[in-house]
Amino acid sequence: MAKPLSASKLVEILRAEGLTVHEVRNWRTHNRNSKGPWGPVNGVMIHHTVTSGTDTSVDICYDGYSGLPGPLCHGVIDKKGHVHMVGNGRANHAGLGDGDVLRAVVSEAELPPDNEADTDGNRHFYGFECINLGNGKDPWPEVQKEAIEKVSAAICRAHGWSERSVIGHKEWQPGKQDPRGFTMDGMRSRIAERLRSHKPPTKPRPEYEPFPGSAFFRAGRHDKRITAMGKRLIAEGCGRYEVGPGPEWTEADRKSYAAWQHKLGFRGKDADGVPGKASWDRLKVPASQR
């Protein structure tokens, strides 16, 4: 079980996986939450649209139709492998399905036959509709299948799930056949391989200047770190500069730093304007190339 990802986080992980993501209209607040709970989430469900054409398919999945209001999924995967986000929250995509299947997904066990419709799937699954007629003849371009793999892997990775947390609608609800045209076992194998061997690039952690010691800050000291410190003090609303800051330690630097110490709650000799390690580390002065 897991708390649903925020709209911003979902877009972030999909793009980090190398996907092209389109945000459709007001998708971030478009949901069916008024009709039932959203979460805890347990897996990803894959569908086909039984439609053709990207714009038409995306509009249908956003708006829904008579008797079944949208969103009809969270994202639409087109034949170019692009993902169109249409909903954030509860969506009308899974319907009632087999509670035994849900329990297997939660425990990441082998799926049993879906022979009952007794459990609300809209609460528990992210849903992605893939543009395909579902007639067994409409082709599945490799870029589209790769996008399904990437979407699923990104969400699984974010929640700490394995490929067994990804199922097809046909494995959830009796009588459904989607997605038709590839096997879910084959797709899960692809997802498992991606989870093992494809890691999205991580953002480099920012580097900050280590504390140079209080003795460093004395009259006549000239160093790029003092300029960087002054810029951070200004950003924190503590700058007391008429001109600058610059690379030479001045009385303006001391007064500015004293304001920073006061902002942190230091008083007396602990707020004399001479940097100490505790206040310096919290200022997070960017590392400079010296």
Cβ atoms 86, 58 nearer than 8 A: yes
Query: Which one is predicted more confidently, 287 or 101?
Result: 101
DSSP state of 113: P
171/148 Cα distance (integer angstroms): 16
Sequence-distant (≥ 6) Cβ neighbours of residue 5 within 8 angstroms? 13, 155, 158, 159
pLDDT in tens, 8-53: 999 999 999 999 999 999 999 999 999 999 999 999 999 999 999 9
Which single residue is written with the structure tokens 């952690």? 205
Q: Return the pLDDT at 100.
A: 98
Q: Which amino acid is at 164?
A: R
Provide the residue count of the chain: 290
Q: Is the pLDDT of residue 289 over 60?
A: no
DSSP state of 102: H
Q: Is the pLDDT of residue 202 over 90?
A: no
pLDDT in tens, 89-141: 999 999 999 999 999 999 999 999 999 999 999 999 999 999 999 999 999 99
Strand partners, 208: 286
User: How do 21-23 and 83-85 pair as beta strands?
Assistant: parallel
pLDDT in tens, 244-265: 899 999 999 999 999 999 999 9
In the chain, the percentage of residues whose pLDDT exceeds 90 is: 93
Which single residue is written with the structure tokens 């996008």? 147
Helices (H) and strands (E) in the chain, counts: 8, 10
